[in-house]
């Protein structure tokens, strides 16, 4: 098959139709380094069949795509992921997952345009991979939260992660397991809360 996934796909739940009452569409970008779990997060939160553009990693990538820490990775996103989740009766989140490797960074501009905010996923095995995403979001003034994807096992305190990333105290940092729907959903909720609080502060 053309499209393969690195882990078994979530059981095909019946797609949830868009509520007729939905009037607020909010665009969210999910960014971060290569292999940190962006596709997994979009896949686990989406209530519609997510758009995946994962391709099998080929031998052409030996020496280009560094698999240290993510040795079991078999496929990689070459365009973007897309999913949708209903927040409440009126708000719907459209979640766009960015590709991680440098050769696809040119796509990020389009993904960020019109985005309300972003989630930066980090993996403590490869923290340095997230610097580019954080720098870029700070430079363009897009609100974001950082989510430490610990795959269910936490070996680092959030304080350690915060200081290693040299994160601004105003940026929320949360822990998540991108494979778990509820956990991934909490990350999106943290982002929406953060954006709302920024809006409220700004209007004072």
Partner 1 sequence: MNLDTLTWLLEGLLERTPGARHALVLSRDGLKLCHSASLNKDSADHLAAIAAGVQSLAHSASVEFGAGPGAGGVRQAMAEFYGGLLFIVEAGHGAHLAVITSEEAEPGLVGHNMNELVEQMGEHLSTPPRAATGSV
CA distance 108 to 121: 15
Region from 99-107, 111-119, 130-138, 158-166 binding partner 1, contact rule CB under 8 A: 99-107
User: Least distance (Å) from partner 1 to the CB of residue 185?
Assistant: 24
Task: Count CA atoms within 13 Å of residue 121 on its CB side.
Answer: 30
User: Least distance (Å) from partner 1 to the CB of residue 178?
Assistant: 19
User: Least distance (Å) from partner 1 to the CB of residue 18?
Assistant: 16
97 counts as binding partner 1 under rule CB under 8 A: no
CA distance 103 to 66: 13
137-142 long-range contacts (CB < 8 A, ≥24 apart) are 137/31, 138/168, 140/112, 142/29, 142/112, 142/115, 142/117, 142/118
Contact pick of 10, 22, 87, 107 for partner 1 (by CB under 8 A): 107
Specify the DSSP class assigned to residue 69: T
User: Least distance (Å) from partner 1 to the CB of residue 175?
Assistant: 24
Specify the DSSP class assigned to residue 141: T
Site string for partner 1, 41-80 (x = CB under 8 A): ----------xxxxxxxxxxxx-xx-x---xx-x-x-xx-
User: Least distance (Å) from partner 1 to the CB of residue 169?
Assistant: 36
Decide: residue 200, CB within 10 A, 0-12 exposed, 13-18 middle, 19+ buried.
exposed
* Number of residues forming the site for partner 1 (CB under 8 A): 30
Residues making contact with partner 1 (CB under 8 A)? 1-3, 51-62, 64-65, 67, 71-72, 74, 76, 78-79, 99, 101, 103-104, 106-107
């Amino acid at each position: 098959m053309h499209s393969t996934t690195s882990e078994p796909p979530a059981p095909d739940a019946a797609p949830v139709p868009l509520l007729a009452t939905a009037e607020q569409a909010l665009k969210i970008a999910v960014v971060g380094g290569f292999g940190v779990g962006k596709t997994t997060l979009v896949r686990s939160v989406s209530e519609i069949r997510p758009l995946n553009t994962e391709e099998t990693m080929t031998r052409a990538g030996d020496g280009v795509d560094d698999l240290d820490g993510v040795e079991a990775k078999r496929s990689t996103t070459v365009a973007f992921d897309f999913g949708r989740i209903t927040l409440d009766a009126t708000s719907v989140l459209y979640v766009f997952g960015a590709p991680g490797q440098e050769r696809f960074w040119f796509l990020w501009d389009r993904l960020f345009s019109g985005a309300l905010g972003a989630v930066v996923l980090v993996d403590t095995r490869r923290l340095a991979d997230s610097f580019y995403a954080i720098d870029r979001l700070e430079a363009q003034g897009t609100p974001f939260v950082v989510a430490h994807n610990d795959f269910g096992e936490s070996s680092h305190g959030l304080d350690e992660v915060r200081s290693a990333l040299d994160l601004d105290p105003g940026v929320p940092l949360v822990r998540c397991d991108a494979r778990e729907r509820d956990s991934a959903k909490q990350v999106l909720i943290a982002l929406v809360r953060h954006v709302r609080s920024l809006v409220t502060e700004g209007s004072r």
